[in-house]
Structures are given as structure tokens and as C-alpha cells.
Amino acid sequence: MDKNQMMRFIAKRVAGELTPGTLVNLGVGIPTLVAEYIAPGSDILLEGENGVIGLGKTAFDVIDATSGKKPEEADDQVINAGAGAAGIDAGASFFDSTTSFGLIRGGHVHTTVLGTMEVDEEGTLANYLIPGKKVAGMGGAMDLCNGVKEVIVATYHTMKGNPKILKKCRLPITAKRCVTKIVTEMGVFQVTPQGIKVIEYNPEFTLEEIQRATEPELIIPDDVKPTPHCYFEGL
């Protein structure tokens, strides 16, 4: 897979982990693409912390970053939390940030999908700051990590050949012990009290290759299964 296919594979696989009938927040970057793969009839509502419920298939900001082009159909007046042009489903609602963060802090958002620079074996997340570099900042991640029922990290497995799944985060921390699941181009991983467990693996990689790309020792069940073929179709 090339990088664009990896990005779409991660997003598609994350969509398969979402619970039908729930309110889901999508972070910036790869998480934005998850909207493209929500199954029709799943009753999953997408929320943006900038004040909208009912985000539709968009991912314009990610596509633009890849192609360098701005889609003509994008409406600059309708954006997601990452300031990217957003599609809106029929029946969507708009509200102010006070209401938005009231929903998050009140526990009404079931799942958030976030990107990251680092995540460790305890589920601690570091996704807002690289010292000495200009980055987007914390945004609503701190509130989301502490207010939702499930935190899924959607990320490439490595950065410049270095593991992003670590024994301990080294960058400034967004939230401690909040991540429940990690999805990368190499597989799906569950954060457990005993460590990071391989739920399934991308058969393009061996389990040995996945372990070498991961800093902590992985828990690999004897009966771990490869990712179903359907998640590779149409990438």
C-alpha cells in the first residue's frame, strides 16, 4: 500500500469499530476520513466540537492536503473542527461551543477518533505538541479524552521509521490512560491492563514485522486473525 492507501485503510478499519446508534467525534487528519466509510443505516451521528451534529462525507481537508487542490464543491462557510470544508447531512444541527463542550464533558459523546504523535502501552496520548515546532495545539482533545466513553487512535504505525506506539510517551501528554484502541496500517490493537493486545493484523505484514515496529512487547494471541478482505476493497 502507498501512503494514501494506508490512510484510507486506517479510516475504513476505524469505521468498522464504531458502535451503531452512537454519537462520534472525529479529530483532524486521518480521523476526518472515517466519515467516508460510515455504513448506511448504522445510525452513527458525527459530531464536531466546533458546534455541529450531523457531519457527512467530506474529508476535503485531508484530500486537499494530499492533492494540493481545493474542491470546487467545498463550502468555505461550513467547516469541521479542523477548519476543513465539511459536508452536512440532512437534519444536522448547529450550536455554540458552550453547548458542544457541554455534550463532551457531560459524557454524551460515545467515541472520539484522534490522531497522535505518540501513544504508549498504558493508553496515554501525546498528540498536541512537538517542542520547538509549530503545530495546531490542544484543541478539544483534552476534553474529549476525559469526557467520552471510548478513545480510538487512528495513526500510521511509525514516523520516519520510528515507532509511534511506545513504552512511555516522551512528548508532552494530552491525557493519561485514556486510549482504548489503536488502529494503524499494520492492524488493530486493544489497550489492556496487561499491555497492548493484537486484535487483528494486516496480512501485508508479518507479526514479527509488527513487533519490530512497536516499542513495547505486544500480546499476540495464538488465534489472532488477519484483517478481513473487505477492508482492502476500493482503497
54, 186, 187, 191, 219 from 224: Cα distances, Å = 36, 13, 11, 15, 10
**Grid coordinates 493486545 are at which residue?**
197
**Domain count across the chain:** 1
Residue range 18-64, pLDDT digits in tens: 999 999 999 888 998 898 899 888 999 999 888 889 988 764 444 44
How do strand 181-184 and strand 165-166 relate by DSSP bridges?
A: unpaired
Q: What is the DSSP letter of 231?
A: G
Residue range 92-122, pLDDT digits in tens: 899 998 999 999 999 999 999 999 999 999 9
CA end-to-end span of the chain: 9
Residue range 160-218, pLDDT digits in tens: 999 999 999 999 999 999 999 999 999 999 999 999 999 999 999 999 999 999 999 99
pTM of the model: 0.90
In this predicted model, which residue has the larger pLDDT, 125 or 68? 125
3-state secondary structure of 68: coil
| Enclosing domain of residue 104 | 3-232
Domain at 119, CATH number = 3.40.1080.10
204 included as an active-site residue: no
> Which entry of 49, 122, 185, 215 is annotated as an active-site residue?
49
